[in-house]
């Protein structure tokens, strides 16, 4: 792993990285979309203009996790020009928040009008089913979560103080309407961030439930917070890949990516309906 890519938090994004991605997109981006674990299939439903491995961009961190292909794609869909991040990096891979929030920071630097973030998450609400989609309407980040807190709050000159809600109520309503357009049942709730790489412990599950968390995962929160600080509108959706209904359970990454892939058709229909509305 190239730990040198984990840049100092106070430094702005490297100019050569921004320039390389801007040259790759060759024009303005209407929306950027982060495709999480097993959800990269959305790329098969759009017109691909160009694609490139993230390793081809200077200083871009390398993903080490199955289900995260590590590719950037420029695409057209619903009359919009898109930048797709097919996979992401996580804090448990050894990267700090400057890297785990990189898609949001790049989208903001490129002038995107919207960031859509997706992930695979464990459901904590007993009414959820594996394969459900959940619109994230709030976050819970534990103070001790690695790479969060004060670390995520200081990116230097390319971020603004977080003085606005993380999620625009009108944008959330647009997402609800898009789900109705697509005929997709859309859950809604709070996403709890865990550092990983282990799945949530029984104690964490109990605590999160007590705190009102509906789904938990190991990504997305850095991107949401960074986008909000950059005044970049953001929507986030979790694919519920497993549901903690019993005290003892076993969850594997293979199961998570398999269920996410099965739900990718619903996610694609939802995102296309959303793009038509923005």
Structure-token pair, residue 53: 């491995």
Q: Which residues contact 208 (CB under 8 A, 6 or more apart)?
A: 124, 140, 192, 200, 216
Active site residue: 60, 92, 191, 199, which one? 92
Active site residue: 120, 244, 261, 268, which one? 120
Active site residue: 5, 31, 32, 37, which one? 37
Handedness of CA 180, 186, 190, 192 (dihedral sign): negative
92 catalytic residue (yes or no): yes
Active site residue: 31, 32, 63, 68, which one? 68
37 catalytic residue (yes or no): yes
Structure-token pair, residue 57: 């961009």
Is the CB of residue 114 less than 8 Å from the CB of residue 223? no
6 catalytic residue (yes or no): no
62 catalytic residue (yes or no): no
Active site residue: 219, 226, 228, 264, which one? 219
Exposure letters 88-119 (e unless 16+ CB within 10 A, then b): bbbbbbebbbbbbbbbbbbbbbbebebbbbbb
Is the CB of residue 39 less than 8 Å from the CB of residue 88? no
Active site residue: 216, 242, 264, 268, which one? 242
Q: What residues pair up with 74 in beta bridges, in sequence order?
A: 50, 83
148 catalytic residue (yes or no): no
Is the CB of residue 65 less than 8 Å from the CB of residue 24? no
Active site residue: 93, 200, 204, 223, which one? 93
Active site residue: 20, 62, 195, 253, which one? 253
Residue with tokens 């809604």: 188
95 catalytic residue (yes or no): no
90 catalytic residue (yes or no): yes
93 catalytic residue (yes or no): yes
Is the CB of residue 237 less than 8 Å from the CB of residue 121? no
Report, as residue numbers or ranges, the catalytic residues: 37, 68, 90, 92-93, 120, 218-219, 242, 253
């Amino acid at each position: 792993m190239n730990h040198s890519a984990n840049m100092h938090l106070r430094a702005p994004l490297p100019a050569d990285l921004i320039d390389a991605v801007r040259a790759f997109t060759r024009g303005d981006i209407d929306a950027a979309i982060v495709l999480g674990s097993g959800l990269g299939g959305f790329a098969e439903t759009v017109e691909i203009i160009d694609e490139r491995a993230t390793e081809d961009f200077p200083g871009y961190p390398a993903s080490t996790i199955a289900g995260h292909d590590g590719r950037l794609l420029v695409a057209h869909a619903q009359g919009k020009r898109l930048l797709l991040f097919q996979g992401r990096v996580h804090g448990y891979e050894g990267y700090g928040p400057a890297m785990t929030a990189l898609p949001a920071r790049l989208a903001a630097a490129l002038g995107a009008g919207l960031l859509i973030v997706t992930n695979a998450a464990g459901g904590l609400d007993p009414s959820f089913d594996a394969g459900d989609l959940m619109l994230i309407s709030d976050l819970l980040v534990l103070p001790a979560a690695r790479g969060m807190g004060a670390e995520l709050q200081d990116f230097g000159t390319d971020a603004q103080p977080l003085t606005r809600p993380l999620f625009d109520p009108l944008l959330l309503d647009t997402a609800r309407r898009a789900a109705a357009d697509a005929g997709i049942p859309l859950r809604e709730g709070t996403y709890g961030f865990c550092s990983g790489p282990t799945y949530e412990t029984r104690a964490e599950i109990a605590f999160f439930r007590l705190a009102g968390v509906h789904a938990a995962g190991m990504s997305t929160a850095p991107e949401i917070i960074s986008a909000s600080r950059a005044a970049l509108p953001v929507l986030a959706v979790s694919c519920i890949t497993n549901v903690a209904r019993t005290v003892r359970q076993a969850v594997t990454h293979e199961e998570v990516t398999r269920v996410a892939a099965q739900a990718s058709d619903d996610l694609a229909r939802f995102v296309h309906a959303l793009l038509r509305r923005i």
